[in-house]
Chain A
Amino acid sequence: AQSVAQPEDQVNVAEGNPLTVKCTYSVSGNPYLFWYVQYPNRGLQFLLKYITGDNLVKGSYGFEAEFNKSQTSFHLKKPSALVSDSALYFCAVRDLNSNYQLIWGAGTKLIIKP
């Protein structure tokens, strides 16, 4: 079955340090992968996507993600964290077997401490 896992419920990072939010997936065929962010009391916002091409994808707010086919991972990264990056982050993969709907991870709460 196709699935997405975000192994960490919460990630704590000091402001200015690099951050990584992990995502692994299991799909048949070539994956379409996405990251979304949810700020408190807001809807989700698209951050970035991987469809094909360069394994390093750049997105909004200085975030980037690295697609690793051999490790079936799509980790979200940022070189220097800001307090304003504190939010809930969701990884998602397109399910080619279910009419192209998205399968969502459970979310990772990112806390950036000053």
Chain B
Amino acid sequence: EAQVTQNPRYLITVTGKKLTVTCSQNMNHEYMSWYRQDPGLGLRQIYYSMNVEVTDKGDVPEGYKVSRKEKRNFPLILESPSPNQTSLYFCASSLRGREGTGELFFGEGSRLTVL
């Protein structure tokens, strides 16, 4: 089954404790992206990747890191989480980011709480 898999789905952590949210897709998509969803703000893009070893900042990259060492995986790293990073996070992928049609496939989301 074609899917985008995120882990963990739910996480409660404390300020400053490094964490990684994994994202994996099995559709051989070139493009992957991370979003955060907050009430009233819709989706805001954190980072995206057009292909392996190519990453770019989105609208709200502060406090986050990403890497794209292989095509299927795009982990989101919070080196020192803070309470303002409490949010619902989504990973998404599509066949191509630039020439493609923009149809994104989303993971089920990861709800992160930073105390």
Q: Which A positions have Cβ atoms within 8 angstroms of B? A: 9, 32, 34, 36, 41-46, 49, 51, 90, 92, 94, 99-102, 104-107
Contact = CB atoms under 8 A, between A and B. Distances in A.
Interface string B45-71: 100101000001010000000000000
Contacts of B40: 9, 106
Interface residues on B, range: 20 to 34
Contacts, number: 57
Nearest to B109: A43
Contact of B48 (A32, A44, A101, A105): A101
Contacts of B101: 32, 49, 51
B77 interface: no
Contact of B42 (A45, A51, A99, A104): A104
Residue of A34, A46, A92, A101 most packed against chain B (CB within 10 A) = A101
Given A43-B108, A94-B102, 11 more contacts: A32-B101, A34-B102, A41-B108, A44-B104, A45-B106, A100-B98, A101-B33, A101-B48, A101-B97, A102-B104, A106-B42
Contacts of A106: 40-42
B11 to A, nearest CB: 15
B34 interface: no
Contacts of B42: 90, 104-107
Interface string B16-58: 0000000000000000010000001111110010100000101
Interface of B: 4, 33, 40-45, 48, 50, 56, 58, 90, 92, 97-98, 101-109
Question: Which of B33, B98, B106 has the most CB atoms of chain A within a 10 A radius of its CB?
Answer: B106
